[in-house]
Chains A and B, each alone.
Chain A
Amino acid sequence: MAEFDWSSIPGAWPFLWAGMQTTLEITVLAVAAGIVWGTLLAIMRMSDIRLLSWFAASYVNLFRSIPLVMVLLWFFLIVPALLESLFSTPRTSDTRLSSALVAFALFEAAYYAEIIRAGIQSVSRGQSAAALALGMSQSQTMRLVILPQAVSNMVPLLLTQGIILFQDTSLVYVSSLADFFGAAYKVGDRDGRLVELLLFAGAVYFAICFSASMLVKHFQKRAGS
């Protein structure tokens, strides 16, 4: 068994930290965009307008039936070239970060939409009937009565999905973008210390995700759901 040598980690700290910032940036922006787009998709899916509900259902089913790796490859390899040829824009410097953001936001929205739809449907029907009977419009009912109650039901699931997204951001490795995992891999590869760096990356992800999921559980217990 080889000896461990952790000495390349302290020196690479700034690079690893920059990678972690990229990871967090992708996670936070994709969660935010995913929730907004996912809410719209959920509302469309429950709409009475057939075209809207059909669109939302196909969107969700499409993204849920293909691997995330495949979606990322589309957005790294195909979409930038497609946009270039469509709008004949010049080849810009580096679109990998924005490609990653868009890919994660579009992909996660499909999963968020299902969580949000389940959350909305968990609010009893009497609530919306009562709001409509009081003379509220459809959108007022949704905004003022249904969503506030649905949100508290779905917050734990949305947070758990956020933790999954945080883990999944490591897949930007396919574009060799230096997120936290990509940075750790590059340092390990450069110094011939891949074993140590991979174990270190695993430990860091574990520490973050384990504490975050404990917090979600704690929050869930206090909310009494």
Chain B
Amino acid sequence: MGYHWNWGIFLAQVPSGGTSYLGWMLSGLMTTLALSLSAWIIALVIGSAMGVLRTVPNRWLSGIGALYVELFRNIPLLVQLFIWYFVLPELLPERLGNAYKEINPLLQQFTAAMICLGLFTGARVCEQVRSGIDSLPRGQRLAGLALGLSGPQTYRYVLLPMAFRIIVPPLTSEFLNIFKNSAVASTIGLLELAAQGRQLVDYTAQPYESFIAVTLTFMLLNALIMSLMHRLEARVRVPGQGGHHG
């Protein structure tokens, strides 16, 4: 095969100057990290709140939680992203919509992707939080209430501290997923890692190097997060409960 390998391409300057192709890749990696981490915060906050709602003894409140989960789980991520990016500005009151369209396009892409990814992942976090709370013996809730704690206090001091420790392993896999899912943001033009890989193919005519480098970066990121999370899992594991892999 007559392909000319050239790994030095990453050090070459980009046509517009000022940085190298490696610089483009690093900026893509930074965007991927910033997007995934900020979306993860949204997912944790909304997911925990909704997960608690799903377990409270009130049909209306738990209904809201169920509605949220079903809505965000049954529409493809790509479709949700396009709705946040293309549809939402049109549905806002005109003045707000126009103001939104005037901000920096890069910021528009980033916010749309962040909200989308956060709420999408939040629905999955919600289900984990709910199953964590449900896995606790009923006696814990009753004991909290019998001690005179209010409903919210029972959650705050009894149920949630245990539930969160139990669900760290499944949350790890959601955390890994958010980094992988962030690549979908390349479809609205956000220059994260996958999009930079594509751009490198167009600019350098070295498709193999570009794609191998991006793919390896995703794999490294995955391995790094997994080892960090395993450490966390080992630290917070409830003694005597679900003590799988050492």
Q: Once A and B bind, how many residue pairs between them come within 8 Å at the CB atom?
A: 111
Contact of B82 among A1, A2, A65, A198 (CB under 8 A): A198
A69 x B82 contact (CB < 8 A):
no
- Contact indicator per residue, chain A 61-75, by CB within 8 Å of chain B (1) or not (0): 010011111100110
The A contact surface, by secondary structure, is helix
Of all A-B residue pairs in the complex, the 10 with the closest CB atoms, nearest first, are A67-B183, A65-B222, A209-B74, A167-B76, A67-B180, A69-B183, A170-B76, A170-B78, A210-B74, A65-B219
Can you give 29 A-B contacts (C-beta < 8 A)? A1-B94, A1-B97, A65-B219, A66-B218, A66-B222, A67-B179, A67-B218, A69-B186, A69-B187, A70-B183, A70-B194, A70-B218, A73-B198, A73-B211, A77-B201, A170-B79, A171-B78, A181-B76, A181-B78, A194-B86, A194-B87, A195-B87, A198-B82, A202-B75, A202-B80, A206-B75, A209-B73, A209-B74, A213-B73
Number of interface residues of B (CB under 8 A): 45
Residue numbers in A under 8 Å from B70 (CB-CB): 210
Q: Is A85 an interface residue (CB 8 A)?
A: yes
Contact between chains at A78 and B211 (CB < 8 Å): yes
**Which B residues lie within 8 Å of A202 (CB)?**
75, 79-80, 83
Residues from chain B with a CB closer than 8 A to the CB of A118 are: none
Size band of the A side of the interface? 35 or more
Instruction: Report B176-206 CB contacts with A as 1/0, cut-off 8 Å.
Output: 1001111110110000001001100100000
Q: Tell me if B's interface is mostly helix, strand, loop or mixed.
A: helix
- Taking a contact as CB atoms under 8 Å apart, the answer to whether B223 and A65 are in contact is yes
Given A78-B207, A202-B79, A210-B74, A70:B222 Cβ within 8 A:
no
Contacts of B197 in A (CB 8 A): 70, 73
Known: A77-B201, A205-B79. A70 touches B74 (CB 8 A): no
Q: A181–B79 contact, CB under 8 A?
A: yes
Q: Cβ of B99 < 8 Å from any Cβ of A?
A: no
User: Chain A residue with minimal CB distance to B179?
Assistant: A67
Most B-side CB within 10 Å, residue of A67, A167, A194, A195: A67
Contacts of B79 in A (CB 8 A): 170, 181, 198, 201-202, 205
Q: How far is the CB of B245 from chain A (nearest CB, A)?
A: 14
Residue in B3, B78, B83, B194 with the greatest tally of chain A CB atoms within 10 Å: B78
Q: Which of B3, B176, B180 contacts A68 (CB 8 A)?
A: B180
Q: Separation in Å of the A179 CB from the closest CB of chain B?
A: 10
Interface presence of B234 (CB below 8 A): no
15 additional A-B residue pairs with CB within 8 Å, beyond A65-B219, A77-B207, A205-B79: A66-B215, A68-B180, A68-B183, A69-B184, A69-B194, A70-B194, A77-B198, A167-B75, A170-B78, A171-B184, A195-B91, A201-B79, A202-B83, A209-B73, A213-B74
Query: Whole-angstrom distance from the CB of B103 to the nearest CB of chain A?
Result: 19
With CB as the reference atom, state the residue of chain A lying closest to B1.
Answer: A85
Q: In the docked arrangement, what's the CA distance between A74 and B201, Å?
A: 11
Residues 30-89 of B contacting A (Cβ, < 8 Å): 70-71, 73-80, 82-83, 86-87
A151 at the A/B interface (Cβ < 8 Å)? no
Interface flags, A164-202, vs B, CB<8A=1, else 0: 000110110110000001000100000000110011011
Query: What is the minimal beta-carbon distance from B172 to any residue of chain A, in angstroms?
Result: 13
Q: A86 contacts the other chain (Cβ, under 8 Å)?
A: yes
Flag whether B208 is at the interface (Cβ < 8 A). Answer: yes
Q: A40: which B residues are within 8 A, CB to CB?
A: none
A70 and B214 contacting across the interface, CB-CB below 8 Å: yes
In the complex, A1 Cα to B75 Cα: how many Å? 24
B239 within 8 A of A: no
